[in-house]
Structure 1
Amino acid sequence: MHPDAWHLTEDIDGFHARAGSFLRSRPVLHNTPLTVMEKWRTRPGAFEPGSVLFGRLESGDEVQAVFYRPPSRRLTLTPLSPERADALAAHLADSLGHTLAGVTADHDTATAFAEAWQRHTGATPTLRVRMHLYRLDTLTPPHPHPEGHGRIVGEQDHEHLMRWCRELAADLGESVTIDAGSWEGTRFAEKSYTFWQSPDNTPVSMAGVNPMVAGMVRVDPVYTPARLRGRGYAAAVTAEVSRAALAAGATELVLYTDAGNPTSNALYQRLGYRRVADWAPYDFAYAEPEAG
């Protein structure tokens, strides 16, 4: 595959016009590009023109794969063969230099690209975390079911929601500011949220969902404060948002898990989510230039 088969652009509308149908053709595997593109195209201020590099691989007149590189410099890729991953790495190394902070894709694609990037640039790739991608098969309500009920998070809950998002980010090791001033710029802002409440109306867990795109909804994030875990609240709120998404017309529900967390993986499987792919985010480190 020759590098000139990749078409690079900073024009989001032109990119979407050519690649949108391709992304919608596999909404489960393409869930992240779909939701990110939807946010950039529809949320005022979410996208800064010229800040993102898009690429599409065309064979004949058909799009075969796409990528985008946002200001974080982390490349997000749709599935590629090892040969195509190597060709892309060579092309980007020549055109961009050492300007990638990492890559995220399905495990095989991300690994192939990370190894190719190392060959072409000398960067050292490090796997940040092993992840699983799940797709809902048949929703199975949790049993036993904890007491309480779900409630849509409203404006009056915003401080509570931001506090839990800060706690979640800290648990995940993310360095991010989450307050009233920065909220709209965070990855949490475009989602809708549901609290699971105990019988006395105290929120005990939450789940978020991304806006529906191509019939697909991604559940993210799910969070229960540490002191309240192990009581079935996360299962209850996940089942609640899954049921609501299906009722709203979703045809595909997906979520990601940390492969190293057996508790969460078992929880989602009991609810009817089935693993469809492994996922891998790699970070790239570069040697410091020698002093002259």
Structure 2
Amino acid sequence: MSAGEWHSTEDVLEFLAHAGDFLRSRPAMHNTPLTSVEKLRLSGRPGRLGWLVEDGEVRAAYLHGPATHRVNLTPLTPDQAGSVADHLAGREVVAVTADHDTSTAFAEAWQRKTGAAAEPTVRIRLYRLGTLTPPDPFPEGRGRVLQPTDHEDLVRWCGEFLDAVGEAPAPTWAESRFADKTFTFWETPDGTPVSIAGNTPMVAGMVRVDPVYTPAHLRGRGYAAAATVEVSRAALAAGATDVVLYANPFNPTSNALYQRLGYVPISEFTVYAFTAPETRATA
């Protein structure tokens, strides 16, 4: 195999012309790049996008957020991780997200290249739906897709979810990771919402379920399972071939739930945060 060459652009359509087929070749593993690139395409916002060509074929890709300075990578070999670190040298990179082996290889390469300290901050497990298996018994109630008139309630529920997981909110709703998603409430027979599940728009036959949230005082009654089943069914009915979700691998309750519903773990992802040498020196 010949040495590869990285190419980059801020033109989403140019990137898709080169790397679109590659991203679509593994919708589950590439779910985050697929949805992120689609958001850039629809919004018209710029982003630094790159792809690796080896022996005339695209073998990998990355996204480098111009505002967040975070890098998202498709799976790479250690040599490829080193080459993309060389390619990104001189740019600000504050974090990387990828499957665990790729993220670790890039973090090590970035440390060697820049002297930055790397710290693993998040570990998440990727699941792909096999055969959807609703719980039995199924909680009483119904699923209801939220409408524009539910926006105030949606913002409140998403805010509670962020508080529960310790995630900082975006400056505005439009900039949040929720703005482009469809949400479904699971409601009790009297119409009271007791759980919520979101899903991304379908891209390359892939839908990601995110987030799933039930207030603490309502947990243990099957409501999260019901909400997850509702959005999973809707995705399948819409023609999705890959329905995926992420879970905290250290939460045995959610992992057991998703596996009972038919979700199969396929990979572990790690986020590394970087601290530049000059920042550490003045801390």
TM-score, structure 1 length as denominator?
Answer: 0.92
Contact 1:207–1:219, Cα closer than 8 Å, also in 2: yes
| Distance of 2:57 and 2:241 partners within structure 1 | 25
| Distance of 1:85 and 1:130 partners within structure 2 | 19
Alpha-carbon offset, residue 163 of structure 1: 0.4
Contact 1:3–1:87, Cα closer than 8 Å, also in 2: no
1:215 equivalenced with 2:205 (yes/no): yes
Query: What do residues 131-164 of structure 1 show as CA deviations (whole Å, max 9, x unaligned)?
Result: 1100000000012211111011111211111001
1:48 equivalenced with 2:45 (yes/no): yes
Q: Which residue number corresponds to residue 56 of structure 2? A: 61
Alpha-carbon offset, residue 2 of structure 1: 8.6
Contact 2:195–2:215, Cα closer than 8 Å, also in 1: yes
1:272 equivalenced with 2:262 (yes/no): yes
Q: Which residue number corresponds to residue 81 of structure 1? A: 77
Query: What do residues 72-91 of structure 1 show as CA deviations (whole Å, max 9, x unaligned)?
Result: 01100000001110121123
| Distance of 1:103 and 1:211 partners within structure 2 | 24
Q: Which residue number corresponds to residue 155 of structure 1? A: 148
Alpha-carbon offset, residue 214 of structure 1: 0.9
Q: Which residue number corresponds to residue 205 of structure 1? A: 195
Amino acid in the other structure paired with 2:53: E
Q: How many residues are matched?
A: 280
Amino acid in the other structure paired with 1:5: E
Alpha-carbon offset, residue 211 of structure 1: 0.5
Contact 2:93–2:274, Cα closer than 8 Å, also in 1: yes
TM-score, structure 2 length as denominator?
Answer: 0.95
Alpha-carbon offset, residue 288 of structure 1: 2.9
Amino acid in the other structure paired with 1:48: R
Tell me the secondary structure at the aligned position of residue 128 of structure 1.
strand
1:253 equivalenced with 2:248 (yes/no): no
Contact 2:119–2:273, Cα closer than 8 Å, also in 1: yes
| Distance of 2:88 and 2:170 partners within structure 1 | 31
Unmatched tracts of structure 1, length 5 or more: none
Q: Which runs of 4+ in 1 moved over 3 A?
A: 1-4
| Distance of 1:58 and 1:287 partners within structure 2 | 32
What is the RMSD of the two structures over their aligned residues, measured on CA atoms?
1.7
| Distance of 1:270 and 1:173 partners within structure 2 | 26
Distance 1:48 1:151, change over 3 A: same
Q: Which residue number corresponds to residue 37 of structure 2? A: 37
1:121 equivalenced with 2:118 (yes/no): no
Contact 1:2–1:87, Cα closer than 8 Å, also in 2: no
Tell me the secondary structure at the aligned position of residue 26 of structure 1.
coil
Unmatched tracts of structure 2, length 5 or more: none
| Distance of 2:96 and 2:44 partners within structure 1 | 20
Amino acid in the other structure paired with 1:59: E
1:92 equivalenced with 2:109 (yes/no): no
Alpha-carbon offset, residue 124 of structure 1: 1.2
